Amino acid sequence: MASVATRANPLLKIVPHFLTWRTLGFRTICSGRLGFASQSEQINTEPSVAGVKVLETFKEEFEVGSRLFMLETGKIARFANGAVVLGVEETKVLSTVTSSKGDDVRDFLPLTVDYQEKQFAQGVIPNTFMRREGAPKERELLCGRLIDRPIRPLFPSGFYHEVQVMASVLSSDGKQDPDVMAANATSAALMLSDIPWGGPIGMIRVGRIEGQLIVNPTMDELCLSDLNLVYACTKDKTLMIDVQAREISEKDLEAGLRFAHLEAVKYLGPQVRLVAKAGKHKKEYKLSMLSDRTLERVRELAEAPIEAVFTDPSYGKFERGEALENITQDVKRVLEEEGDEESLKGLSKTVDTVRKKIVRKRIINDGRRVDGRHLDEVRPVYCEAGNLPQLHGSSLFNRGDTQVLCTVTLGAPADAQRLESVVGPSTKRFMLHYSFPPFCINEVGKRGGLNRREVGHGTLAEKALLAVLPPEEDFPYTVRINSEVMASDGSTSMATVCGGSMALMDAGISLREHVAGVSVGLISEVDPSTGTIKDYRIVTDILGLEDHLGDMDFKVAGSRKGVTAIQLDIKPAGIPLDIICESLEYALKGRIQILDHMEREINAPRAQDRNSPQLATLKYGNDSLRRLVGPLGALKRKIEEETGGRIAVSDGTLTVVAKNQTIMDKVLEKIDFILGREIEIGGNYNGVVTSIKEYGAFVEFNGGQQGLLHISELSHEPVTRVSDIVSVGQKLTLRCIGQDVRGNIKLSLKAVTQTGSSLKVTQTGSEKNNAHESLKEAPKYSVSSENMFNGPEKDDDSSETSEEELVNKNEGSGADLNSLSIPQILIRSAAECDEEENSAGLTRNVNSKAKAVGATEGDRRSKLLSQMKEERKSDSKFKSQDGDELKKTLTSFFHSRNDTEADTDATVTARSLKLGMKVTAKVYQIRAHGLVLDLGGGLRGMYRFETNGRKDFEIGEELKVECSSFSTKGIPVLSLLDDE
């Protein structure tokens, strides 16, 4: 404000400092009032200096594999109960833990793990409307589960205080996946906090490239690896396993697990050393433990009836659950009559404990299960494929009371899921969505957003099936499997694997192998004093009740060749690795039993028919693709709306996906009309008449290209006016019958209806007579190569009569009538023709002018035929011949004259060069696949080396060649003639 006053009154600039308001003790005018300043205000005129905050940080550096890691605490998130930053190279992850202070009464551990990848970690602003991160993505939920599963079993029994773990990525270089780092940072944070916890743990990722195991592989190395193993453990026990593999054998997997354990324990020492520097004393928390008196009283009341229910295999899931609930209510009534309030508070937990002991004791002592099965026996299997024939693929899979309906939907590559992660690919073309509706367990509920359990189960099944899908080069579809759990009694994720494999086969996808999954459980007896396992039983294909009352849920999926996915969850504080490896063999036996049932139902991909989904991949230039998409994709959307197909455009590639072949044909027809394809002589094309001239019609076809439909190619019958046959805007199916050196295209309407690509004299019956008749009656046209005139014309009477005689004399011979016809027409575009007409001052007497232009060609042919007649009269060879021999001689004579005339041309030009013309050329260049030949007059052609043909040419060597065709750019394509 002082500056404002100075600008308002410039005289203040010359006032001495000792006379200013401030030195005289007055407040400034802008302070709101005039008056003397207080003494304190006069004294505190110097700015204060802030103190320096010293952050005491603690660090631990250690090496795992070939990378250097660093644990750090004390600098960030100092108010959290425990906070640790774990870094490797340029990737850093922060993990914090907190716990509630109250002592709420509950019978479970409310542990929440939140993992978040914010876009600032990779220097990107979120691509959302609000430019903020939204709800947790699937990957974030999966990483949260990856942290939750190994730390949950290590909380002490009866600790039911709310605990929250929040892990976030601070920075990422894209090389290392931060999920494993977040788990190790969480372990260190829990160790530093005052929360009771039985850690530390170590988590490691192991890959395998060409048989070599790799510790902490980078994202690039994982793309080459056939194994992605995430392993968590304490010093001597396994806590969690998560595997994605490409049919790795059980033996190799066991070797990988043992290798991973040795590397994972390297994370434990640095955490212990960090706790010694900065750890807190563990706080005394109230544990919700069951009293021995309550447990004994409930056991007396409920043990006998519960054991009776569990020994009766006739009970189903809901009948058994209803019977157990009735027993609980009976015990509750007794305790209420006795007034035992303490026992009533923990009744549900106590009854569950009694059930657990009864089931576990029966399995260990008797080897019998709740439903009467043996320990290694799989429940009865029923499956069917193609139960919903209208879909791309479908299957129904039942194992015991568990039932899953799987469907497959195929889409274009553009339908792939877009991923926003700090690491990994940006899209995913194979998706499996698992759904667990409330009705599958006979409950009432509402559907919400992403569910952690549903995402986890779906991802496990997705990993299992991904290993057997054909490669993207051979199978570019986007595939979505939708798994709906119709009834649940345990192992619905493994049932999804089985049903998904059959649905993929039903969709016609060529899987390498069928994939099945089975869940293996563990029932163990532990020594209370030492905590070691005294006895145990491995249980195959566990029920939902056995999963709840058992020690582990070991899900293993794979084919007959090997394992493709594993997920291990446990309840005790670790299981020896030897038991885990032993369980692999039980899982293999159960998997083989299920695969037998699946292969009996469907063992090969369904054959594709016209009603099956179709996919076509086409190659085009980017300019053509931009033309197809149109402004803002309008043309592409219009095609999709009109046909029902889906179009995906990428760099140089166009992918079309259609529900059936009929829709595919419609889409391809529209694409061909807009973009076109490489012009082939003899190929049929759809076109639209754009303009009509007296000599023919110009047709737009094949993506905007123009061709001339000459009046002679309209019909087998004589045509006097083009407008009698076609009209502007009419759609036609035409055949390309030739191209000139400039690429101008000749089209034919009559060639589409005739049999064969050309008419031969060897045809018999009425076809032969009709062919001759149409050729004789067709009007004759001639065009000068130097001064072309695109209009119909007739030769003089003598030349017309002489040629008719020649055709009649050659009837029945094996000569090709096309070789005896008038030379081919040189076609120009419609614009060139209009310009030619205007410049020549064409009027209605266009036919008379056409005769003058074509006189030279007509005179030449007349002279040739007259000369042939004279030689026939004087040559005894002609006189002695009769019938077929005479006809062959005449044909040979005519060809030899044409060849001689072509050979004697002084200079070959682009206009004079025609198909079949034989010329002498010199070798101009020798390339890897052929020659560039100089035809003279600045005209060059190309010759491609033939298989097992001559390749020892020299620059300047003269060769006898024949013009066999023209490329799409009008370059002559030559063939080498044999030396005579």
Cα angle for residues 75, 77, 82 (degrees, 5° grid): 100
Radius of gyration of the chain (CA): 44
CA dihedral 435, 436, 439, 443 (to 10 degrees): -150
Mean pLDDT check: name the lowest of 101-110, 298-307, 589-598, 933-942: 101-110
Most confident of 214-223, 440-449, 858-867: 214-223
In our burial notation (b when 16+ CB lie closer than 10 A, e otherwise), range 487-526 reads: bbbbbbbbbbbbbbbbbbbbbbbebebbbbbbbbbbbbee
Cα angle for residues 495, 501, 505 (degrees, 5° grid): 145
Span 722-749, pLDDT tens digits: 888 889 889 888 888 887 666 678 899 8
Mean pLDDT check: name the lowest of 201-210, 280-289, 624-633, 893-902: 893-902
Query: What's residue 822's pLDDT?
Result: 32
β-bridge partners, 563: 248, 558
Mean pLDDT check: name the lowest of 198-207, 723-732, 931-940: 931-940
Residue 267: name the closest of 306, 239, 299 by CA. 239
Residue 558: name the closest of 141, 226, 225 by CA. 226
Query: What's residue 743's pLDDT?
Result: 65
Give the chain's length. Answer: 980
Cβ neighbours around 631 below 10 Å, total:
7
Query: What's residue 834's pLDDT?
Result: 52
Most confident of 293-297, 494-498, 703-707, 856-860: 494-498
| Strands 430-435 vs 646-650: parallel, antiparallel or unpaired | unpaired
108 DSSP assignment: S
Span 789-838, pLDDT tens digits: 333 333 333 333 333 333 333 333 333 333 333 333 344 444 544 554 45
Q: Given pLDDT bands bounded at 50, 70 and 90, which one contains residue 625?
A: confident
Query: What's residue 706's pLDDT?
Result: 83
In our burial notation (b when 16+ CB lie closer than 10 A, e otherwise), range 312-331 reads: eeebebeebbebbeebbeeb
| Residue 266, pLDDT above cutoff 70 | yes
Residue 483: name the closest of 440, 521, 443, 519 by CA. 440
Span 483-502, pLDDT tens digits: 999 999 989 999 999 999 99
Averaged pLDDT for residues 363-390: 90
Averaged pLDDT for residues 775-801: 34
SS3 sequence of 432-450: EEEECCHHHHCCCCCCCCC
Span 314-350, pLDDT tens digits: 888 888 889 999 999 999 999 888 888 888 888 888 8
Distance CA 620, CA 607 (A): 29
Query: What's residue 678's pLDDT?
Result: 64
Query: What's residue 43's pLDDT?
Result: 44
| Residue 709, pLDDT above cutoff 50 | yes
Query: What's residue 961's pLDDT?
Result: 87
Paired tokens of 610: 């016209």
Q: Given pLDDT bands bounded at 50, 70 and 90, which one contains residue 31?
A: very low
Query: What's residue 476's pLDDT?
Result: 78
Averaged pLDDT for residues 641-666: 86
Query: What's residue 654's pLDDT?
Result: 86
Alpha helices in 244-316 (DSSP H): 250-264, 268-278, 292-310
Distance CA 548, CA 83 (A): 33
Mean pLDDT check: name the lowest of 139-143, 329-333, 869-873: 869-873
Distance CA 465, CA 432 (A): 9
Is residue 350 within 8 A of residue 335, CB to CB? The reply is: no
Mean pLDDT check: name the lowest of 266-280, 389-403, 633-647, 855-869: 855-869
Residue 964: name the closest of 979, 975, 954 by CA. 975
Q: Given pLDDT bands bounded at 50, 70 and 90, which one contains residue 879?
A: very low
Pick 883 or 680 by higher pLDDT.
Answer: 680
Query: What's residue 540's pLDDT?
Result: 95
Q: Given pLDDT bands bounded at 50, 70 and 90, which one contains residue 786?
A: very low
Span 41-66, pLDDT tens digits: 444 445 556 677 778 899 999 999 88
Mean pLDDT check: name the lowest of 178-187, 494-503, 946-955: 946-955
Residue 355: name the closest of 402, 319, 378, 321 by CA. 321
Domains of the chain: 58-278 (3.30.230.70), 292-366 (1.10.10.400), 381-601 (3.30.230.70), 614-675 (3.30.1370.10), 683-748 (2.40.50.140), 917-976 (2.40.50.140)
